[in-house]
Amino acid sequence: MTWRIRVAERRDVPGILEIEEAQFPEPWSRGMLLDEMANVATRRYTVAEEDGIILGYCGVMFVLSELHVNTLGTRPGHEGRGVATALLQDALADAATRQVATALLEVAVSNQRAQRLYQRFGFAPVSVRKRYYQKTGEDALVMFAHLTGAPAGGPTLAP
Ligand SMILES: CC(C)(COP(=O)(O)OP(=O)(O)OC[C@H]1O[C@@H](n2cnc3c(N)ncnc32)[C@H](O)[C@@H]1OP(=O)(O)O)[C@@H](O)C(=O)NCCC(=O)NCCS
């Protein structure tokens, strides 16, 4: 592994948007991303960078005592290297420092790979939001986890 995780900066936006556009049918716009990144009190946006290339990014939001995974993506061609795992570990370690107790996310019902990733961190399905994704009409699975506050370094959430 030669990449590292760090907090996202404005100069990372083009790289993040490349991944967003490659990986999601309804990619975020530059304006949406910049608004999110600017909201530092309640958001944490991070990137995995290798030799100046953005390999992946993660955006989470803290709402009261809950973490919400807003977005997570790995650059095509760099999947299966542990990039998303490391980004999630970082977000959950940050949540632990904020005494955040629970975590929630939505993921497309067909997205088995992401669901497996989240399950490794202790997320479990709790409900379905019908036609959550406007462009595809696909349902979203809502996944929930109780955070243990354990340090990063492996999946950090209780089953
Ligand atoms: C889902 C997604 C984020 C996973 O990203 P990733 O960086 O490939 O994830 P990881 O590498 O951490 O883990 C993925 C797989 O690689 C394996 N892996 C992790 N580290 C590895 C390593 N060093 N060597 C080999 N395999 C490894 C994991 O066991 C996992 O296996 P699985 O898919 O069979 O369960 C990525 O596929 C993606 O961007 N998808 C499109 C967008 C998306 O679905 N986002 C999430 C929903 S919001």
Atom of ligand 1 nearest to the CA of 19: 39
The residue type found at 154 is G
Atom of ligand 1 nearest to the CA of 120: 35
* pLDDT string in tens for the chain (159-residue length): 689 999 999 999 999 999 999 999 999 999 999 999 999 999 999 999 999 999 999 999 999 899 999 999 999 999 999 999 999 999 999 999 998 999 999 999 999 999 999 999 999 999 999 999 999 999 999 999 999 754 444 444 443
Lookup: tokens for 74 = 């790995």
Residue that the structure tokens 């309640």 belong to: 42
- Fold topology of 4-146: Aminopeptidase (3.40.630)
CB 22 within 8 A of CB 71: no
Pocket test for ligand 1, best of 28, 117, 142 (most atoms within 8 A of CB): 117
- Residue 71 CB: number of other CB atoms within 10 A? 21
CA distances from 156 to 52, 60, 82, 88, 135 (A): 29, 16, 15, 10, 33
At residue 149, the pLDDT reads 54
Smallest CA-to-CA distance from 46 within 32, 55, 57 is with: 57
Q: What is the pLDDT at residue 153?
A: 46
User: Where are the chain's structural domains?
Assistant: 4-146
Give the closest residue to 101 by CA, choosing from 147, 47, 53, 51. Answer: 147
φ, ψ (nearest 5 deg) of residue 2: -115, 0
What tokens were used for 120?
């490794």
Which residue in the block uniquely carries the two structure tokens 């290339």? 53
Q: Ligand 1 atom 22: the closest Cα is on which residue? A: 81
Q: How many angstroms separate the CA atoms of 37 and 102, rounded?
A: 22
Query: Which residue has the least CA distance to atom 34 on ligand 1?
Result: 113
Ligand 1 centre from 104 Cα, in Å? 19
Pocket test for ligand 1, best of 19, 26, 74 (most atoms within 8 A of CB): 74
Residue 129: the pLDDT is 97
Supply the pLDDT for residue 1.
62
Provide φ and ψ at 66, rounded to 5°.
Answer: -125, 140
Residue nearest atom 24 of ligand 1, based on CA coordinates:
81
* Cα separation, 138 vs 126, whole angstroms: 17
Residues with CB under 6 A from ligand 1: 23, 56, 72-74, 79-85, 107, 111, 113-114, 116-117
pLDDT value of position 151: 44
Q: Give the pLDDT score at 148.
A: 75
* DSSP conformational letter for 147: B
